[in-house]
């Protein structure tokens, strides 16, 4: 459909330059890409909050120029030498590294939110569906260790399809590994805030994504373990239309807040300021 693209012609050959539309994943509305970006990837018709890249997330949440990444070199391992019909796991990972300019499905760093220093982990769904692999878990744990050592709050922005099957049992181990690292923060009364974005499923939803002292979700986020269709086939019952949405999960007590994307930075700032007044993290600067 030519009207979906911005194009130009070289002689008789049509050259597609760029897409000019985004299609809302929730309601199917066509939104001009410029409007989509200006509106922070939020659908103007149904308010569905689409995916952000880690760079877009840091620009949105952290004070300008304050975010400093660490442990960039940590990358996936390939213990099984996994190969599917199309390509090897190794080749897939190497291609994503070059395409995205990062080595794993999460980036970690420190930054400031309204002047207050935090440690953060930001998952990237573009990298193998934000799946939880050995490198992902290692980076999340090391970030938790830094928060523990320096007594500063820890925030994880989750976006994941779950455990990474190409790494077998090593992937499942990351659920316990990351959870143990977060549990240690309790010893020093260090706040852990979980921000659950669309989608967050599988082993990530069953571990660190729902372990926050405060669990926040973005509007419309899919939050669950197994897929809706799988559950319906297993129990032989029809599930509600809003099953596994942020609103449904909030109503059933698994999260604490749903926060609009434009309000997220200030809401996090309010929570951090409250923690500082209650001396829950004495090194918030």
Q: Is residue 141 part of a domain?
A: yes
β-strand pairing of 154-160 with 192-200: parallel
Q: Is residue 285 part of a domain?
A: no
Q: Are residues 145 and 19 in the same domain?
A: no
Q: Are residues 2 and 138 in the same domain?
A: no
Sequential DSSP letters for 55-107? HHHHHHHSPTT--EEE-TT-----TT--B-SS-BHHHHHHHHHHHHS-SSSEE
Q: Is residue 248 part of a domain?
A: yes
Q: Is residue 284 part of a domain?
A: no
Domain count, the chain: 2
Can you list the residues of the chain whose pLDDT is less than 70?
1-18, 279-285
β-strand pairing of 192-200 with 106-113: unpaired
Q: Is residue 283 part of a domain?
A: no
Q: Are residues 7 and 81 in the same domain?
A: no
Alpha carbons within 13 A on the beta-carbon side of 142:
17
Q: Could you give the strand order of the β-sheet that contains 257-258, starting from the edge strand earlier in sequence?
A: 68-70, 106-113, 116-123, 154-160, 192-200, 214-217, 257-258
Q: Are residues 31 and 118 in the same domain?
A: no
Domain of residue 34 covers: 1-46
pLDDT digits (tens, 9 = 90+) for 148-194: 999 999 999 999 999 999 999 999 999 999 999 999 999 999 999 99
pLDDT computed for residue 76 by the predictor? 95
Which residue, 14, 29, 46, sits at the end of a domain?
46
Q: Are residues 134 and 267 in the same domain?
A: yes
Q: Are residues 161 and 23 in the same domain?
A: no
Q: Are residues 41 and 99 in the same domain?
A: no
Q: Is residue 270 part of a domain?
A: yes
Q: Are residues 121 and 26 in the same domain?
A: no
Phi, psi of 140 (to 5 degrees): -65, -40
Q: Is residue 68 part of a domain?
A: yes
pLDDT computed for residue 2 by the predictor? 46
pLDDT computed for residue 16 by the predictor? 46
Q: Are residues 22 and 157 in the same domain?
A: no
Tell me whether the omega of the peptide bond preceding residue 196 falls within 30 degrees of 0, making it cis: no
pLDDT computed for residue 59 by the predictor? 96
Q: Are residues 132 and 1 in the same domain?
A: no
Q: How far is CA 93 from CA 101, 104, 135, in A?
A: 11, 8, 12
Kindly report the CATH number assigned to the domain that includes residue 141: 3.90.226.10
Q: Are residues 146 and 7 in the same domain?
A: no
Q: Are residues 109 and 139 in the same domain?
A: yes
- Rg of the chain over Cα atoms, rounded to whole angstroms, equals 20
């Amino acid at each position: 459909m030519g009207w979906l693209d911005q194009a130009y012609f070289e002689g008789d050959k049509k050259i597609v330059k760029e897409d000019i539309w985004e299609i809302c994943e929730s309601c199917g509305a066509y939104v001009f890409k410029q409007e989509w970006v200006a509106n922070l990837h939020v659908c103007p018709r149904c308010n569905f909050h689409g995916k952000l890249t880690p760079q877009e997330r840091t620009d949105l949440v952290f004070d300008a120029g304050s975010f400093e990444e660490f442990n960039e070199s940590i990358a996936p391992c390939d213990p099984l030498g996994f190969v599917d019909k199309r390509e090897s796991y190794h080749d897939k990972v190497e291609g994503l590294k070059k395409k995205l300019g990062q080595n794993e499905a999460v980036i970690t760093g420190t930054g400031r939110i309204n002047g207050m220093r935090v440690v953060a982990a930001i998952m990237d769904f573009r990298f193998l569906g934000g799946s939880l692999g050995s490198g992902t878990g290692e980076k999340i744990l090391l970030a938790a260790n830094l928060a523990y050592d320096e007594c500063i709050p820890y925030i994880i922005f989750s976006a994941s399809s779950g455990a990474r099957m190409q790494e077998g049992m090593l992937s499942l181990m990351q659920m316990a590994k990351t959870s143990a690292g977060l549990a240690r923060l309790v010893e020093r009364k260090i706040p852990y805030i979980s921000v659950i974005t669309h989608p967050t499923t599988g082993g990530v939803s069953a571990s660190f994504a729902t372990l926050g002292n405060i669990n926040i979700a973005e509007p419309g986020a899919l939050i669950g373990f197994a897929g809706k269709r799988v559950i319906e086939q297993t129990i032989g019952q029809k599930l509600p239309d809003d099953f596994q949405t942020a609103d449904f999960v909030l109503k059933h007590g698994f999260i604490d807040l749903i926060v609009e994307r434009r309000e997220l930075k200030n809401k996090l700032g309010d929570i951090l300021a409250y923690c500082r007044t209650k001396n829950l993290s004495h090194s918030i600067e």
